[in-house]
Structure 1
Amino acid sequence: MEMARCLIVDDSSVIRKVAKRILTSAEMMVTEAANGQEAIDMSAHEMADIIIVDSSLPDMDSSDLVRRLMALPADFKPVILLCLSELDLGAIMRAKRAGAKGYMLKPFTRSQLLEHFREFRFAA
């Protein structure tokens, strides 16, 4: 089985490091982006299987980032999850309309993050 790739887009280095520590394994390679433009640049070079996007990025609206990621030419479309610090139905609906598959709340635990990943991993 090919190694799965996950991209974590969050301006908080702490959140990125925690998520990377949770998800990195023999089956999963995890990369990080500190903002939307960095995520687009990385994804244009190599698209991740699943992308976790923070709902409040410093350089662009999260739904704009989702839309731009989904529009990139790639062999497949990534599974994108919006990550929020509080439930915001407006942000969730905008992200879903842009192409996100779902959302998760932070702070998250290892089991929550892995469960979200399992839920969408084979749905791609």
Structure 2
Amino acid sequence: MKTCLVVDDSKVIRKVARHILETLDYTVREACDGREAMDSCLVDVPDVILLDWNMPVMSGMDFLRALRETSLATRPKVVFCTTENGIAHIRAAIEAGADEYVMKPFDRDTLESKLQIVGAA
């Protein structure tokens, strides 16, 4: 079974994402900010990370840059999941190493299609 780390400071978003991902046969872990997500990745690298942009402690972009600098055995797929929809934000996320980008609010079909695109479904 594939694993997904949902990184978002909103408990509601984490709960919705968990529900959708579990129906797609993912084992789901959660983190409420980038620092907690980094700690989780260093212990056990997930197959895919669903990542929010704006979070306290460590933002999604800061987390993504730090993740790319680590020497993890495998590289997880990263799907940014955010309300930031400007082309500059999307370009910055992709340039920083994101594999895909999904807008909030999202539904099961949208999330499933993005995971298929990155080869994580």
Where structure 1 has 5 or more consecutive residues not aligned to the other structure, the ranges are: none
TM-score by length of 2: 0.90
Cross-structure match for 2:94:
96
The farther-off stretch of 30-39 and 59-68 is 59-68
After TM superposition, list the pairs within 5 Å mapping 1:25-104 onto structure 2: 25=23, 27-104=25-102
Displacement of 1:87 in angstroms is: 0.9
**Structure 1 residues 79 and 58: alpha-carbon distance in aligned structure 2, compared to 1, 3 A threshold:** same
Displacement of 1:26 in angstroms is: 7.6
Are the counterparts in 1 of residues 50 and 81 from structure 2 also a CA contact under 8 Å? yes
Displacement of 1:122 in angstroms is: 4.9
SS of aligned partner of 1:121: coil
Cross-structure match for 2:103:
105
| 4+ aligned runs moved over 4 Å, structure 1 | none
Where structure 2 has 5 or more consecutive residues not aligned to the other structure, the ranges are: none
The share of aligned pairs that are identical, in percent, is: 37
Are the counterparts in 2 of residues 44 and 73 from structure 1 also a CA contact under 8 Å? no
Alpha-carbon separation, structure 2, partners of 1:53 and 1:7: 8
Q: Deviations over 1:8-60 (max 9, x none)?
A: 10000000000000111484201110001000000000111110110111122
Residue 115, structure 1, aligned to residue 119, structure 2: no
Q: Return the letter of the residue paired with 1:49.
A: D
TM-score by length of 1: 0.88
Alpha-carbon separation, structure 1, partners of 2:7 and 2:24: 21
The farther-off stretch of 10-19 and 64-73 is 64-73
Are the counterparts in 2 of residues 64 and 98 from structure 1 also a CA contact under 8 Å? no
Alignment partner for residue 13 of structure 2, among 2, 7, 15?
Answer: 15
Alpha-carbon separation, structure 2, partners of 1:71 and 1:56: 20
Q: Return the letter of the residue paired with 1:57.
A: M
Q: Return the letter of the residue paired with 2:96.
A: A
Q: CA RMSD in A?
A: 1.8
